[in-house]
Every structure is written in C-alpha cells, then in structure tokens.
Structure 1
C-alpha cells in the first residue's frame, strides 16, 4: 500500500513511518521539517520525504496523488489560535477528493468522544479546562471528516506518551474504552492507525483508545 503520512516527524507520525516501512508499505512522509527523514530516501526505495505546508493546496495535492490511503497525525499548539488541525484537515480532505483518494485515518483528541447524556466528553464538568481549546479544534477536524465523502476513521486519543509500541491497548467506538487509563504510547497509536487503514473496522466512526 502507498501511504501518505501527514505530521510525519511527530511522536506518532515518525513511529508510523518506520512501522509502515517495516511492514512493506511505500511511505510518503509529509511535513515542514522532514530534513531528519531525508536519509531514509537513501536507504529505502519505498520511502519519499516530502517537504511542504499542510495549508498549501499544491503541496498537499502532490503528497496525496497516487497514494492508496492517508494517515494524518497533525499537531500544533493547545492555545486555540493555532488552526493547523482544522484548516490542515480541510485542505487534506479537499485534495484527497481531487486526487480520488478515499481512505484516511486521522488522529485527534478524546474530548470529541461521546458521553452517556449525548454530549461530548469535553463538555463534562470534570474535563480538564486546559484542553478545551484544542478539543474544539479536534471537533472541527472531526466534523469536517464526518461531513465529507471520504472513508474516514477518527482516532480520539488521550494523553500521548513518547514511547514505542507495547501492543497492549484497547479501543472502543464513539466512547472511552474500559478500562480507561487516560494515556497511550505513541507507538501504540501508530500501530492501531496503520492496522485500521487495512482492517477497515471503524470506517465512518471515531474511536477511543487507551493503554491496558
């Protein structure tokens, strides 16, 4: 499979790059600062590092054209001013539609998961207020996907630990998984996202994830 990975130099994205290559996929790693990945071009003919900006239409169209699927691990600040997650997702969706690429697995935050009263987790009284602004960004990205024609999956992550894959994690559609330990290794998120690209278990759904 040819996979375009946005946010390829972040905690999750970089691990997704290496795991995808190890599994035999062809990887197109996209980001503004991919210089530290360039050496991979010399060692692996299945890898291409693409330097570009996620807001740039031509850059993103080039990155997705010819790919079978997209994995987005876009990040940014938590201040609510940085619109990388929402505006970046808007451009990715548009360029995927132009290029005829249908499948995307995108990373966001757990604040967009449902709670039993029909609202979002970020609206709960015990939700950490410092994450409210970024959760609204995640919500906008999620709604853009939900209202698109793409075959999307939105991974709603709790606190991300800068650790490699353990293989010990649990997922649940729409709601927090149980048990919920409110954290997950970056390598485990990458592992789940890559497998979901192929398994298609949660198409048109958001997914909660947690370490066991």
Structure 2
C-alpha cells in the first residue's frame, strides 16, 4: 500500500513508520520535523515537511495514497487543537482526493461506558484528562459524521516499548481484562493490521496489553 502517516515523529508515529516499511509499504511521513526526527534512509520512505492545518500541503501529501494513518498528539490542557482541527483537515483533503480509509488514534475516554454514555462522561473520570478527552471526542465526531471508512483506536496509557504482538481489542468498549496500558509498538501493529483486516470499519476500538 501507499500510506501516509500524520504524527510520524511521535512515539507511535515512529513505530508506524518503522513497521510499515518492514512490511513492504511505501510510506509518506508528514510533519514539521520529519527531516530531523526521522533520520532514516529507506527507498520506500518519503519525508514531507508540512503544516497540518494547511489545506494545500495536506492535500498534496495525501494525493495518490491508498490509506491514512493518524497518530496526532499534542497538549493535554484542551488548548492544543492539533487532534481536532488536524483530523478535520485530513478528512477534508481525503474527500477531495477520493481516499476512503483512515485509522486514527483517539483516547480511552471516548469508549463506551454503557449503551448511552462514554467513559469520560462518568463522575469518576480523572478531571486532568477531561480536556484532552473532549478533544478526542470531537475528533471522533468528525470521523463519524464523514463518509470515510474510519477506525478510531482509543488506547489507555501508551508505553514507549517495542512490539510484542500480544494485545487484546474490543469494539466500542475497553477490552477485558484492561490492564490500562498498551505498548507503542503493539498499537502501531494493530493499526497496520487493521488496514488489511478491516475488522473495525466505522468503529471505535479499545486495546490493551
């Protein structure tokens, strides 16, 4: 596949780049600091320096891709709109270029508590995570309202560790047991595998080691 990775210089993004190349994909890594953060010489890797909020730059980068992987990060205080405005622009440019498939990272709080409420809507949800949780919720809403074939992965604490291949997933809810952690390598592995398996199209996904 021809893949583009947004958030390619972050913890999960770097794992996505590495694993995608190892499995034979052609990779476009998009971001402001890709040339300094991704010091790799690979024939199938194309580094694209660009601004996430720039419609033209994102559109040109997405053009010709088969699928999009989004590992966008940012601050936790709610003032950083990278996750929401970034995914909004990605969606718009995917539509413009008739690209349908995206697998994106959200957060645990967007998963269901029950059939009518989310985890972040519960009284005992940690208040310090609520601002970023609401940003993830808005990003999810943008995807849900689109006509794209989206998958929104909602991980717990992401640990900077290589792939083990041992993890569990569940549609819309946290998996059981939920150990409240996922290795960055395993999160990346799931995202790449989902592009081929399409088990969670138009669905949120809980994941845990």
Q: TM-score, normalised by structure 2?
A: 0.98
1:127-142 superposed matches below 5 A: 127-142=125-140
Deviation at 1:125, TM superposition (A): 2.1
Q: Aligned ranges for residues 1-212 of structure 1 at < 5 Å? A: 1-37=1-37, 39-40=39-40, 43-116=41-114, 118-211=116-209
Q: Distance in 2 between matches of 1:14 and 1:155?
A: 17
Structure 1's consecutive aligned runs of 4 or more residues displaced over 6 angstroms after TM superposition are none
Q: Does the 8 Å CA contact 2:5/2:27 hold for their aligned counterparts?
A: yes
> SS where residue 79 of structure 2 aligns?
coil
Deviation of 1:39 after TM superposition, in Å, equals: 4.2
DSSP-derived class of the 1:106 partner: strand
Query: Cα offset for 1:124?
Result: 1.4
- Which deviations, in whole Å up to 9, do the C-alpha atoms of 1:100-130 show, x marking residues without a partner? 1110000010100001252010111221111
Counterpart-to-counterpart distance in 2, 1:191 and 1:117: 29
Give the TM-score taking structure 1 as reference length: 0.96
Contact 1:37 1:49 in 2 (8 A): no
Q: CA deviation at 1:37?
A: 5.0
**Pairwise CA distance, 1:36:** 2.8
Q: Distance in 1 between matches of 2:47 and 2:106?
A: 23
Residue 78 (structure 1) shift: 0.3
Listed as ranges, the gaps of 5+ residues in structure 1 are: none
Measured in 2, the distance between the counterparts of 1:144 and 1:38 equals 29
- Name the SS of the counterpart of 1:49 in structure 2: strand
For the residue of structure 1 that corresponds to 2:169, the secondary structure is strand
Partners of 1:128 and 1:210 in 2: how far apart?
A: 19
Which secondary structure state, in structure 2, belongs to the residue aligned with residue 143 of structure 1? helix
- For residues 39 and 87 of structure 1, what CA distance do their matches in structure 2 show? 28
Q: Secondary structure at the match of 1:30?
A: strand
CA distance in 2, matches of 1:102, 1:117: 28
Secondary structure of the structure 1 residue equivalent to 2:142: helix
Q: Aligned partners of 2:64 and 2:136: how far apart in 1? A: 27
Indicate the SS of the match to 1:168: coil
